[in-house]
Amino acid sequence: MGGIRSVYDVRMQFKDYKDKHGNLYLTRQQRHLAGFSMYISNTSRKEDGYLCYEDLPTLGLPDLNFGTRCIKYGRFVIFYNERLGQKSYSSSRYENPALTELCDVVVRGCYQTGVYGYSCNINCPINCQGRRCDIVNGYCLGCTEGWSGSKCNQACPSGWYGLECKLSCSENCRYSDICNHVTGRCDRGCTSGWKDYHCDKYCDPGTYGPNCENTCSGHCFNGTSCNRVTGNCDNGCDPGYTGDLCDTACLPGYFGMRCRDNCSGHCLHNQSCHHVDGVCNHGCAAGYRDTQCFNKCPDGFFGVDCGFQCSDKCVNNKTCNRFEGTCDGGCQRPYSGLICDHQVEESKYGLALASSNSPLEKVKGTE
C-alpha cells in the first residue's frame, strides 16, 4: 500500500464461473479457493504479519465475494493458499490444486496513522501505543507504559506500572509509597536497607538506612558490616566502643571489649587511659610502670615510670619508697636526707653537709 496504513476492512472479489444450468462451476471455484488465509503485515512475509482471516472447514465453502473486518496497521495485504502433498484434503470441500483468480481487492481505512473516525480526522488518544487506535471508535490498540483503559487515559492501578500495567511496584518504596505508574521508580526514595531506581537492591556493605545514605561506624566487631537497615552492629563492637551503632568511645576511665575494663588509674597527670587498649599514652604516675601502669615499681626503683634507681644507703639495705624514693627507715651513717644522698663529716662541731646528688630538690642547710 506504499506505506503503513490504518486498515479497517478488506474486500476481495474472486472470478465467478457460472453457466445457464446452475452452480457447478461456482462450487468448483469455491473449492479451489477453500482454505485460504489473509494477513496484514509491515513486510512482505506473512510470518511477520497478523492473521486477519483463515478459511476453516466449519465455515462452509468460501464466498467468492469475500469481505472481512481487520482493524490493523500495516503496509501489505497478503493472500495465501496451499495444498501440501503430505496433508489429506476432503474432496467435498477442497479442489486440487489451489487456484486463485482475484479480480479485485479493496482495502478501506485511513491513509495516515494516528487518526480515526469516518473522515479520518480525529487524532488517536495521546497514550495509545504508537498513537495507533481503532479506526472506528478510537480505542487504543495498546497503551504506552503506565496507562490502561480503552483509550489509555487511566493510570495503572495502584501498585502496578509499565507496559500493559503488568509489572508490580517494589515493596521497598519509602513512606509506603506506591511507585511511579509509568517508570516503576520509587519517587521519594527507598526504605531503609534498599537502594537503586526500583529499590530492589540491598545496601552495599558498609552502608545502611534509607537509600543507603548512611555509613556504618566502622567499629563493628572484627570488621563485620553493620545492619543494612538499622546501622546496628549486630555482632557487637570492637574494643573501645559501645552503643548500638558502635560509634561511641568508652567513657573516661574505661576501655576494652564492651568498655568493661577499668583503667589502672595510674596514668601520668591523672589522664585517662586509651579507650581501646587501656594504654597510658603519656606514661605512668610515680610508682608504676608498663604500658597500662598496672604494675608497681620493682624493688630498687621509684618515681615516674619507675625511671629512677633507689639509693643504696638506706638502713639495712632496705629498698626505697617507690613513689618518692625516700628511705623511710632511715639512712646508713654517715648519710642523711630523704633519699640518703647527703654525705656528712663527723667533727667536734657535729655533722656537716659534704655533698648531695639527689634526683629530688636538694635539701638546703644541715641536719
Q: Is residue 157 part of a domain?
A: no
* Residue 328 located in a structural domain: yes
User: Domain range for residue 106?
Assistant: 5-111
Specify if 278 maps to a domain: no
Alpha-carbon torsion 349, 354, 358, 362, what sign? positive
94 with 34: CB under 8 angstroms? yes
CB 284 within 8 A of CB 271: no
Instruction: List Cβ neighbours of 252 (8 Å cut-off, separation of 6 or more).
Output: 263, 272
Task: List Cβ neighbours of 298 (8 Å cut-off, separation of 6 or more).
Answer: 289, 306
Residue 25: band (very low, low, confident or very high) from pLDDT cuts 50, 70, 90: low
Cell numbers describing residue 367? 641536719
Over residues 271-320, the pLDDT tens digits come to 999 999 999 999 999 999 999 999 999 999 999 999 999 999 999 888 99
The model carries a pTM of: 0.61
pLDDT of 349 strictly over 80: no
User: What per-residue confidence (pLDDT) applies to 356?
Assistant: 45
Q: Which of 95, 111, 127 is the last residue of a domain?
A: 111
Asked, for residue 98, whether it belongs to a domain, the answer is yes
Last residue of a domain, one of 76, 93, 111: 111
Q: DSSP class of residue 25?
A: H
For 260, other C-beta atoms within 10 Å of its C-beta total: 11
Structural domain contains residue 341:
yes
Domain count of the chain? 2
Q: Quick check: 367 pLDDT over 50?
A: no
Q: Considering 111, 139, 163, which residue would you say is the last residue of a domain?
A: 111
116 found inside a domain:
no
The reply to whether 128 falls in a domain is no
CA distance from start to end of the chain: 132
Q: Which residues pair with 68 in a beta bridge?
A: 10
Q: Is residue 180 in some structural domain?
A: no
